[in-house]
Structure 1
Amino acid sequence: MQLGVDPCEFVSAVTPVLERKDLSGLLALLKSRWTGEQIVALLRCPDCDARKVAALALSLVGCRHCLPALARQLKDPDPVVNQLAEHAIWMIWFRGGSEEANQHVCRGARAIDRGDYHHAIEHFNQAILLCPDFSEAYNQRAIAEYLLERYEQSILDCKKTIELMPIHFGAWAGMGHCHAHKGRLAEAVECYQRALQINPHMTQIRQAVEELRSRIGVDV
């Protein structure tokens, strides 16, 4: 397999910077020595360490075009690769808008963390005004709406997220939560299953499927 970059050389070059926890240095190194396509190609490498480091690198320099390859690594046989790929996907989703829109989404997410859901929604609204196709702005607004128990509105934002980003396992899971709270258990199971098809390592979602199936009398 022709990768365009030696996996051992890549790991050897990146590891010392990781050990120093030099984030800015790592970002500069990645941008100066390898293209995104070369790093994505390493996700197919038989060397597990190379796949791990590549997934970590893409959390810093990856873009939307890297997402299909990272989504495939959610099913990698190595659990650490799964975790690093998921982290990279979320990082790419969060920087999917303009710089200003990304800042609004980050501020909104921090507002959610402190329980200020209304101000969070204001930030997500601003992000959407700036970038109407910013999928993570809709997903984060869906989370805030869910926490305010506005389940139908949250479902609409989950659907918009999925329309813009079909692999968004978080939005599928979130829509499942909303249906479950509304008592639509079969719909919840269907959404959870769609999330698990993309990301099979969502343990809590898998447990929720088992619980709901038992409640609606379907064999697990």
Structure 2
Amino acid sequence: MRRWLDHISVVLALLGPLAVVASIVPAKAQTQRETAALDALFEELRTAPDPATAQGITDQIWIYWTTPSDPMLAARMQDVLALRIKADFPAVIALLDEIVADYPSYAEGWNQRATIHYLLRNFEQSLADIEKVLALEPRHFGALVGRAMMYKEQGKDDLALKDMLAAMAIHPFLVERAMFPELLEDAIKI
């Protein structure tokens, strides 16, 4: 946190009043072009003919979600992803706490934090973060699947199935559908 504050102080000193105004206006995690590209990708995903095609589209969506156009946010997300690989969850949570505070409209910040809380078995916090994710990006199939998994573990099978069906309406080839035998039976009947 201190590193970011030092950086901001230097930028404010160099740029003067314009920097003060810019620091008050929250940065956008997505440009209009990115939003249009994501809209097109989600349409392609919804109508993908097979799992391989869906996976290619899914990979592109995740790239948009995890590499925002704001350079400072993108750098911080790279730090998050690097720390996740190292399984340094306390450091990841601390960094994600800063990201969601600084970029509250960035859905993937909330989603990454929800994922870490899930891994730490802190379901209450994970579910709260997923609510934020879905308020910002209702098509976030990862958040829907995550919530379905938690609900299933909590014995809330009806809620779990509802979320899985919502996720499958967005991404019809989710491998997590295997957690729901009734969905596999439907796939076999088709």
Which category of TM-score, normalised to the shorter sequence, fits these structures?
0.7 to 0.9
Partners in 2 of 1:207 and 1:157 — Cα distance?
25
Identify the residue that residue 136 of structure 2 maps to in structure 1: 164
Q: Which residue of 1 aligns with 2:177?
A: 206
1:64 aligns with 2:35: yes
* Displacement after TM superposition at 1:108 (Å): 1.6
Q: 1:95 matched to which residue of 2?
A: 67
Q: Secondary structure at the match of 2:139?
A: coil
Partners of 1:107 and 1:81 lie apart in 2 by 30
- For 1:103 and 1:78, locate their aligned partners in 2 and report how far apart those are by CA, in whole Å: 34
Tell me the equivalent position of 1:8: none
Alignment partners' CA distance in 2, 1:175 and 1:123: 22
Deviations 1:122-169 (A, max 9, x none): 111122222110000000000000011000110111111111011100
5+ residue gaps, structure 1, are 1-61, 215-220
Contact 1:185-1:212 within 8 A present in 2 as well: no
Match of 1:73 in 2: 44
Distance 2:178 2:52 in 1: 21
Give the share of equivalent positions with the same residue, in percent. Answer: 28
Q: Provide the aligned length of Structure 1 versus Structure 2.
A: 152
Contact 2:149 2:160 in 1 (8 A): yes
**What is the root-mean-square deviation of aligned Cα atoms in Å?**
2.2
| Residues 110 and 66 of structure 1, relative CA distance in 2, 3 Å threshold | same
Give distance in 2, aligned partners of 1:185 and 1:78.
Answer: 27
Change (3 A) 1:187 1:97: farther
**Residues in 2 aligned to 1:213 and 1:132: alpha-carbon distance in whole angstroms:** 37
**Secondary structure, in 3 states, of the residue corresponding to 2:148?**
helix
TM-score normalised by L of structure 2: 0.73
2:167 corresponds to 1:195: yes
Closer, same or farther: CA 163–97 of 1 in aligned 2, 3 Å: farther
| Map of 1:83 onto structure 2 | 55
Distance 1:86 1:177 in 2: 19
Query: In the alignment, is the contact (CA less than 8 A) between 2:50 and 2:173 conserved in 1?
Result: no
2:78 to 106, 113, 117: 106
Structure 2 stretches lacking a partner, 5+ long: 1-32, 186-190
Q: Does the 8 A contact of 1:64 with 1:92 survive in 2?
A: no
Match of 1:131 in 2: 103
Describe the shift of the 1:97–1:164 C-alpha distance in structure 2 as closer, same or farther (beyond 3 A). Answer: farther
Runs of 4+ in structure 1 displaced over 6 angstroms?
211-214
